[in-house]
Amino acid sequence: MNNPTINEFDKADFQGVYEGKTLISSAEITAVPWDIGRPQPVVQDILEKGQKNRLLDVGCGLGLNAKQANDLGYQVTAIDSASKAIEHCLNVHQKTGIQFQLANACDTGLNEKFDIILDSAVYHSIPSSDRSAYMKEMRRLANDDAEFHLITFAPSQHGMPKPLAIELSEIIQLAEINDWAIQSVERVTYKGNAGAISDFQKKKNLNILTDENGLTCLPSWHVILKVKI
Ligand SMILES: C[S@@+](CC[C@H](N)C(=O)[O-])C[C@H]1O[C@@H](n2cnc3c(N)ncnc32)[C@H](O)[C@@H]1O
């Protein structure tokens, strides 16, 4: 039976885009939109300020955030559900101590706890019907004093369209249900590859701004969650 609540973003083909296929069917997105050739600036800020403990990078993609964390002294486990992404990370970052693993963020199979959980543009990549399971699984993997950094697209006239852009009320509701307390919320910018989404921008009539390096500036939430004790 068809689920009427499933949208085109819920069906995004992450494995496909790492193989040069289109990420979604309504537009040509055949280059990796989050490949900016360096760690996300907003993630870099978080990593520089954090306690250098055990870190889980969920949906690590090409592994540049995980590599940055490793270089800064974190003990890093990085997971992704796209085998192509993990293959890439194992090849490119093989000389690091990072534990890369193929795993679904909603049911990782991991049996360890983390002090920092990093979600860099993954929450909105998970189908909406699976997001509560995701928050629950991250809660299971969190130490009592862990920080869960969740960076996800926010609604904005210069941002991604809904439902890819997430209402803060949704995150607050799922946090509450899954025993997370919101510590802070701020608006940040997630950078992306402008060329990769040019057809998407045209077809969806978007007005996304770029920075001096030609990278897209995507308005996002940075929510810090703490375990509710
Ligand atoms: C928008 S990309 C962000 C990649 C990386 N975190 C970054 O900021 O560069 C989302 C990533 O999450 C992965 N992903 C999507 N759903 C996932 C799931 N259920 N479990 C694990 N990874 C997932 C995708 O394969 C993709 O690599």
Q: What is the C-alpha separation between 174 and 98, in angstroms, rounded? A: 30
Q: Which of 57, 220, 67, 81 is nearest to 138 (CA)?
A: 57
Q: What is the C-alpha separation between 11 and 38, in angstroms, rounded? A: 27
The stretches in the chain having pLDDT less than 50 are 1-2
Q: What is the C-alpha separation between 187 and 190, in angstroms, rounded? A: 10
pLDDT of residue 5: 77
pLDDT of residue 4: 54
pLDDT of residue 152: 98
Which atom of ligand 1 sits closest to the CA of residue 119?
A: 6
Which atom of ligand 1 sits closest to the CA of residue 190?
A: 8
Q: Is the ipTM, as predicted for this complex, more than 0.90? A: yes
Q: Is the CB of 126 under 6 A from ligand 1?
A: yes
Q: Is the CB of 33 under 6 A from ligand 1?
A: no
Q: Is the CB of 196 under 6 A from ligand 1?
A: no
Q: What is the C-alpha separation between 222 and 147, in angstroms, rounded? A: 12
Q: Which of 26, 18, 21 is nearest to 205 (CA)?
A: 26
Q: Which of 11, 14, 84 is the best mutation target for the ligand 1 pocket, counting ligand atoms within 8 Å of the beta carbon and taking the most?
A: 14
Asked if residues 228 and 146 have their Cβ atoms less than 8 Å apart, the reply is no
pLDDT of residue 1: 40
